[in-house]
Structure 1
Amino acid sequence: MQSTQTQLLRLSQGQLNILERCPRQFQYTYLEQLHSPADPEHEERQTLGSRFHLLMQQREMGLPIDTFLQEDAQLQSWMRAFADAAPDILTPAPGSQTFRESEHYRTLQVQDYLLTVIYDLLIADNQQAQILDWKTYPKPPNKSKLEQNWQTRLYLYVLAETSDYLPENISMTYWFVQSEGQPQSIKFSYNTVQHQQTAKRLNQLLSRLTYWMERYQLGEPFPQEPEGSKACDYCQYTKRCDRSQHGSEQMPTAKSPITVDTNLLNLASIQEVTL
């Protein structure tokens, strides 16, 4: 008997952010795998951020980190500052029954999509659950913008949907370990109203994605942002979209149906999430 099971597309918070910001950018980045030349400075920051995440993971697993720290003065400085700023996170109370796991992985199916989150650290007990996320760039973003970022919305939403915790008993805290002076944190509490709002917005966005994917397979590109949109200011595809010239706003429609390789939407290797 032939299976009619739909193959689920994996989506992360980064993909949702791009999809909401500009559907055409989502098409170029994730469906067509188009990328601009790597920025060495950005790559260096990503590498350092990934090393800090690995350091925190090894520490949480009880593995030795002294050699790791001795080889990298920057990581040593960050770890010392973080230990001073948040000793309760690094050193839980003796005899605590709290669940702790680094790089905690969860998935949730919504429509025909498999939403995937990876928490840098999840701390939970019988009463509440805390999501912690490490950031290694210097300046924390505006809190209201961070609250609307899909990392914040999706991480809280998925935990509420995949656990017995009420939204009111879930929180998420970002730690910016390289901020000026000492590490800074931004904490978000959660509630049922926010949870319902996220569910509504998420389903709307995914329904649109389904429609755009269907049209894309028939040769129609994803929608562009309007001319003059701020989303175009720092986009690597401005020339491809004719945004750097006074030309047509629309790319030519493909003349033949397009086949989408759903594996292209699988998660890449774990890196620090850029907000």
Structure 2
Amino acid sequence: MLSSSTQLIRLSQGQLNVLERCPRQFQHTYLEQLFSPADPDTEARQTLGSRFHLLMQQREIGLPIDKFVKADSQLEAWMNAFAKDAPEILTNTNSRFFRDSEHYRSLQVQNYVLTAIYDLLIADEQQAQIIDWKTYRKPPNKRSLQSNWQTRLYLYILAETSDYLPENISMTYWFFQGEGKLRSIRIDYNTVRHQQTTKKLTRLLSRLSKWLEKYQQGEAFPQVSEGQRKVCEKCQYAHRCERDSVIETEELKAVDKTLANLATIQEVCF
């Protein structure tokens, strides 16, 4: 990712999420490309999610999918549930609607090219809707989705690269859970949120530029404060960042508290 000042750096929503959560984690992951192998369960879910996205893309461009759906009971359950709960999305072939699967858009901000790939974009002359497929077992709440950079960036880029007013843009997440269960969360955009995203994005990218400049001079990206130690508890780089001692301290405190509670329990005589 390191580059000269004349080159543009591409950033996705995933990279912005990591950068905002912990700049040092961004450094290890994207600059130094230090990755830990995923556990088998995670890899299996990711593979199933990728297959489902590919299936929806093939369906959208008119390729036959029945053979692939019937070969996988989970995919079949999801497709049947979606056809039941949101038939208008699957069957809407009105020529006045623009529909595009895996729709790509980009936007330059400062020295960065921000990229977005919409699972499905449906639009007409008045409004546009971004559709995103998720195969999480447990969907996040709406507030978490609104603050996630996928939501922020996808809505922001569409507003900046089209003639639609922010008020006429929305994003709907469809969560395909186990046993054919479905849940959708719609997030409507507006001018106030667009302005807020502009400020947050400008500030975050300006900081990134400073951190990159210092990194090229041998200075590491900043770590999160110890007051945000919960970020470190789930981070694969905790030992590298010398934050595993913080985690161990918290675990010891929990054990001490448990032992203290046990000490207060009166002995029962038989």
> TM-score normalised by the shorter chain: which range applies?
0.7 to 0.9
Q: Which amino acid aligns with 1:50?
A: S
Match of 2:82 in 1: 82
Match of 2:71 in 1: 71
Give 1 or 2: higher helix fraction.
2
1:182 Cα deviation after fit = 3.1
Unaligned stretches of 5+ residues in structure 2: 247-270
User: Is the contact between residue 18 and residue 26 of structure 2 (CA under 8 Å) also seen in structure 1?
Assistant: yes
Structure ID, larger Rg: 2
Match of 2:106 in 1: 107
User: Is the contact between residue 139 and residue 180 of structure 1 (CA under 8 Å) also seen in structure 2?
Assistant: no
**DSSP 3-state at the match of 2:15:** helix
Give, in whole Å, the separation in 2 of the partners of 1:215 and 1:175. Answer: 41
Match of 2:177 in 1: 178
Match of 1:240 in 2: 240
- TM-score when normalising by structure 1: 0.85
User: Is the contact between residue 139 and residue 179 of structure 1 (CA under 8 Å) also seen in structure 2?
Assistant: no
Match of 1:264 in 2: none
Q: CA RMSD in A?
A: 1.6
User: Is the contact between residue 85 and residue 182 of structure 1 (CA under 8 Å) also seen in structure 2?
Assistant: no
Count of aligned positions:
243
Deviations 1:148-170 (A, max 9, x none): 00000000000000000000000
User: Is the contact between residue 74 and residue 180 of structure 2 (CA under 8 Å) also seen in structure 1?
Assistant: no
Give, in whole Å, the separation in 2 of the partners of 1:245 and 1:44. Answer: 32
User: Is the contact between residue 232 and residue 238 of structure 1 (CA under 8 Å) also seen in structure 2?
Assistant: yes
User: Is the contact between residue 74 and residue 179 of structure 2 (CA under 8 Å) also seen in structure 1?
Assistant: no
Unaligned stretches of 5+ residues in structure 1: 247-275
User: Is the contact between residue 17 and residue 150 of structure 1 (CA under 8 Å) also seen in structure 2?
Assistant: yes
Deviations 1:46-95 (A, max 9, x none): 000000000000000000001111221111111111111100000005x4
Runs of 4+ in 1 over 4 A off after TM superposition: none
Give, in whole Å, the separation in 1 of the partners of 2:105 and 2:203. Answer: 22
Match of 1:273 in 2: none
1:180 Cα deviation after fit = 7.0
Alignment of 1:1-275 (within 5 A): 6-92=6-92, 95-178=94-177, 182-229=181-228, 230-245=230-245
Q: Which amino acid aligns with 2:44?
A: E
Give, in whole Å, the separation in 1 of the partners of 2:143 and 2:122. Answer: 24
**DSSP 3-state at the match of 1:24:** helix
Match of 2:256 in 1: none
State percent identity of aligned pairs: 71
Give, in whole Å, the separation in 2 of the partners of 1:41 and 1:214. Answer: 39
Deviations 1:207-232 (A, max 9, x none): 00000000000000000011252211
**DSSP 3-state at the match of 2:108:** strand
User: Is the contact between residue 102 and residue 119 of structure 2 (CA under 8 Å) also seen in structure 1?
Assistant: yes
Q: Which amino acid aligns with 2:109?
A: V
User: Is the contact between residue 81 and residue 180 of structure 2 (CA under 8 Å) also seen in structure 1?
Assistant: no
Query: Higher relative CO (CA 8 A, sep ≥ 6), structure 1 or 2?
Result: 1
Give, in whole Å, the separation in 2 of the partners of 1:5 and 1:100. Answer: 37
**DSSP 3-state at the match of 2:41:** helix
Match of 2:266 in 1: none
Give, in whole Å, the separation in 2 of the partners of 1:5 and 1:39. Answer: 38
Q: Which amino acid aligns with 2:168?
A: N
- TM-score when normalising by structure 2: 0.87
Match of 1:270 in 2: none
Give, in whole Å, the separation in 2 of the partners of 1:37 and 1:14. Answer: 18
Give, in whole Å, the separation in 2 of the partners of 1:189 and 1:18. Answer: 24
**DSSP 3-state at the match of 1:63:** coil
Give, in whole Å, the separation in 2 of the partners of 1:194 and 1:41. Answer: 36
**DSSP 3-state at the match of 1:245:** helix
